[in-house]
Amino acid sequence: MNKVGIVSFGITKFSRDDSKIESILLKSTKNLFDNCPNLSKSDIDAVLVSTNNNSKYLSAILSEMAGIQPKLAHTIESLCNSGTNAIVSAYSYIASGLVDVVLVSGAERYDSPGQILEWDISRGEFNHPIFWASIFTKSYKREFAVSDEDLAIVSVKNHRQAQNNPNALSKKAYSLNEVLMSKKLTDDLRLLNCSRPCTGGASILLASEDFCKKFTNEPIWISGIGQKTISAGFTKNTSDYMESTRLAASSAFKMSNYSPNNIDVAEIHDAFSICEPMALESIGFAEKGKGLDLIKKLYEQNNFKINPRGGLIGSGHPLGATGIAQSIEIVEQLNGNANKRQVDNPKIGLVHNMSAAATSSTVLILKK
Amino acid sequence: MNKVGIVSFGITKFSRDDSKIESILLKSTKNLFDNCPNLSKSDIDAVLVSTNNNSKYLSAILSEMAGIQPKLAHTIESLCNSGTNAIVSAYSYIASGLVDVVLVSGAERYDSPGQILEWDISRGEFNHPIFWASIFTKSYKREFAVSDEDLAIVSVKNHRQAQNNPNALSKKAYSLNEVLMSKKLTDDLRLLNCSRPCTGGASILLASEDFCKKFTNEPIWISGIGQKTISAGFTKNTSDYMESTRLAASSAFKMSNYSPNNIDVAEIHDAFSICEPMALESIGFAEKGKGLDLIKKLYEQNNFKINPRGGLIGSGHPLGATGIAQSIEIVEQLNGNANKRQVDNPKIGLVHNMSAAATSSTVLILKK
């Protein structure tokens, strides 16, 4: 299998702007070109777009706007983990030897059709993701004797960390009390426990080992890949709420020969507060029921190795761009370019990206 | 690179039914399982859906309905060549060694949002594909002194051939005069010169060399792959109307070490009559301007090696399923199971699938 490296990236600010989907795709692509002086349009063999937008043929349209004439071009959709699905596709195109250089561009608008689970009519009118998050929260609180206050730390931490992310949607830090007093949306969830849909784009460039050299002296390598889809409806998912995450992480660690102890920095899919402790446990960073203890400890130590850019809660959640933005954060961390967000000399990082009540998960392990 | 074989397939009748997209996906998937007695649900590592439908998370939904828990699952869209894009993705997932068995399922409804080129506002209100086909036709007629009667042979041939395809949308053969007298839609195109959008599904199962043995003694191998996207707007595409097809064919022949002379049977993307001669010329089956001579000769000899199932004009065109249905036809031909459509002992077949005025093309070469 050919080695695959990440050699450039580009990103937009996450906002509530009314930009067209094509403009968002082009903006982060342009930023990617600006970040890679040796890259020319003719180097790019494939253009993969990640989005939930209903517009068609976006890969061809982005290619035309950017002056690229790729071999391969199509759109990839898997709700909130579309971005990492597209990265894994790009990986396999290169690893198989079919192509050498792939541009992956993710974009979403604040009004994305992917944010309503219209496909899951089994839950009647409760088709907003907040309802599964609410059920997860109620169940976790009961099982592990956890309070709303315990959980609120996730939001406090991630909003604080987002203050050092110039592209984040969240512009201010919140106290524990502000989270606990924010607008009540369901029995167990308040506004500041939720990530917010937003407008944003993120692009990443992958290359085969031989081609990496043209673009950078220090590519970041994709060392482990794990993916799992367990169902399309979370009601099946009773014994382990994040079984897909557990299985994806296990595959990724096996492929990379690393374990949770080796991970220096991680992006975790905190669509809602409850997702962060659950995911930390399913990946193996904490024992079952101990995720919040770890989060609290890190918060008190001002150690931001979990979600340094502020997670989805702090950064915002432009669905098709999220998995790519998470991967970019790990690349910046491993390159030592994360400025105020920089974790101390990380060598190995992890990306966790999931869809729809963790019915589908991706885990990527990246290394210097 | 691991060898990749096609080991099973399933298909639905093409119709104007009002079936739900999920039901269409499941129907051809069920047919694929019926055709492969040794296949169990747990064998399948990845589920890729090909469609232009706006519903989200369809790969996870199909997986749940079919009882599959795949690693990889996402939807792929590239308008009319979504199907072959998904097959090439499946190929690369297997060839890279990431997975061993991939289900690709394509489906579309008659009212697909992909059939209107809403992305191309550069042409004002002329956003139906018939307008580019009309311009292609006018130009080809002028350049090569071809008449409406010369072109009508494509429709006569493909409707005739569709009579032996039990899944075809077209139920009757038409005379040259009936084509020439059918409803006039533009200056240069009549109703019977056009393929019709329809409801239909097609699924295909790909496997690595080691896993092929479990499912069949005679897999069909993917021997050549070529893809090219030259633009998203056909107005750029002046010197060679089907430049993307020419480049895709050239790559596929190079990868497979075959040439047009080696091809015993081919599926050509005849979205409109004009596409068949143009594609035959761009692939290298005929010299420039001589495509219709070849079609006429084959028709008179009752040789149906080009579009044996009736092409898109005879079979119907369910966008996301078309490239997969074309590939299935070549598999059936190479397996010698095409019944009344069977070409004499074919060894090597070709699939040509394209999007939006040939701004994007895929060419696959399959062999026994």
> Cα distance from B210 to chain A (closest Cα, Å)?
16
pLDDT score for B126: 63
A49, A25 Cβ separation under 8 angstroms: yes
Query: Which amino acid appears at position B251 of this protein?
Result: S
Average pLDDT over residues B174-191: 95
Question: What is the C-alpha to C-alpha distance for residues A133 and A135, in angstroms, rounded to an integer?
Answer: 5
Size of interface A-B (CB pairs under 8 A): 175
- In sequence order, which residues have a C-beta less than 8 Å from that of residue B181 and are 6 or more positions away? B190
Token pair 């059936």: residue:
B332
Question: What is the C-alpha to C-alpha distance for residues A233 and A238, in angstroms, rounded to an integer?
Answer: 11
Rg of chain A over Cα atoms, rounded to whole angstroms, equals 19
Residues of chain A scoring pLDDT < 70: 1, 117-127, 232-239
Report the interhelical angle of A148-162 vs A275-283 (nearest 10°): 90
B62, B201 Cβ separation under 8 angstroms: no
Residue from the list B75, B231, B248 with its beta carbon closest to the beta carbon of A64: B231
What ipTM goes with this model? 0.96
* Contact A227/B at CB under 8 A: yes
> Cα distance from A65 to chain B (closest Cα, Å)?
9
**What one-character-per-residue DSSP string does A177-200 give?**
HHHHHSPB-SSS-BGGGB--B-BE
A314, A165 Cβ separation under 8 angstroms: yes
pLDDT band, very low/low/confident/very high, at B118 (cuts 50, 70, 90): low
Cβ contact, residue pair B76, A78, below 8 Å:
no
Nearest to A79 by CA among B53, B48, B57: B57
pLDDT score for B234: 59
* Residues B102-115 pLDDT 10s: 999 999 999 998 88
Cβ contact, residue pair A69, B230, below 8 Å:
yes
pLDDT score for A263: 98
pLDDT score for B235: 57
**What one-character-per-residue DSSP string does B176-207 give?**
HHHHHHSPB-SSS-BGGGB--B-BEEEEEEEE
The enclosing H or E element of A361 equals strand A360-367
Question: What is the C-alpha to C-alpha distance for residues A91 and A60, in angstroms, rounded to an integer?
Answer: 20
pLDDT score for A246: 95
The residues pairing with A190 across neighbouring beta strands, listed in sequence order, are A184
**Contact residues, A window 237-276, toward B, CB-based 8 Å cutoff:** 248, 251
**Contact residues, B window 314-353, toward A, CB-based 8 Å cutoff:** none
Residue from the list A76, A94, A114 with its beta carbon closest to the beta carbon of B76: A76
Residue of B nearest to A47 (CA): B229
Cβ contact, residue pair B60, A118, below 8 Å:
no
Cβ contact, residue pair B57, A69, below 8 Å:
no
pTM: 0.96
A75, A107 Cβ separation under 8 angstroms: no
pLDDT score for A119: 56
Residue from the list A93, A113, A229 with its beta carbon closest to the beta carbon of B70: A229
* Residues B17-35 pLDDT 10s: 999 999 999 999 999 999 9
pLDDT score for B151: 97
Question: A40 vs A51, A327, B6, B244, CA distance in Å?
Answer: 25, 23, 37, 21
* Residues B280-326 pLDDT 10s: 999 999 999 999 999 999 999 999 999 999 999 999 999 999 999 99
- In sequence order, which residues have a C-beta less than 8 Å from that of residue A207 and are 6 or more positions away? A4, A5, A7, A94, A100, A101, A102, A214, A215, A219
Mutate to test the interface with B, among A44, A47, A49, A77 (most CBs of B within 10 A): A77
Question: What is the C-alpha to C-alpha distance for residues B163 and B302, in angstroms, rounded to an integer?
Answer: 13
* Residues A293-336 pLDDT 10s: 999 999 999 999 999 999 999 999 999 999 999 999 999 999 99
Question: What is the C-alpha to C-alpha distance for residues A174 and A191, in angstroms, rounded to an integer?
Answer: 12
* Residues B89-103 pLDDT 10s: 999 999 999 999 999
Chain A residues whose beta carbon lies within 8 Å of the beta carbon of residue B70 = 228-229
Buried b (16+ CB within 10 A) or exposed e, A307-340: bbbbbbbbbbbbbbbbbbbbbbbbbbbbbeebee
**What one-character-per-residue DSSP string does A276-315 give?**
HHHHHHHHTSS-TT-HHHHHHHHHHTT---BSTT-HHHHH
Cβ contact, residue pair A56, B118, below 8 Å:
yes
> Cα distance from B95 to chain A (closest Cα, Å)?
5
- Give the other-Cβ count within 10 Å of B362's Cβ: 32
Q: Is A355 helix (H, G, I), strand (E, B) or coil?
A: strand
* Residues B45-84 pLDDT 10s: 999 999 999 999 999 999 999 999 999 999 999 999 999 9
Query: Which amino acid appears at position A275 of this protein?
Result: C
* Residues B206-239 pLDDT 10s: 999 999 999 999 999 999 999 999 876 655 555 5
Q: Percentage of chain B with pLDDT > 70?
A: 94
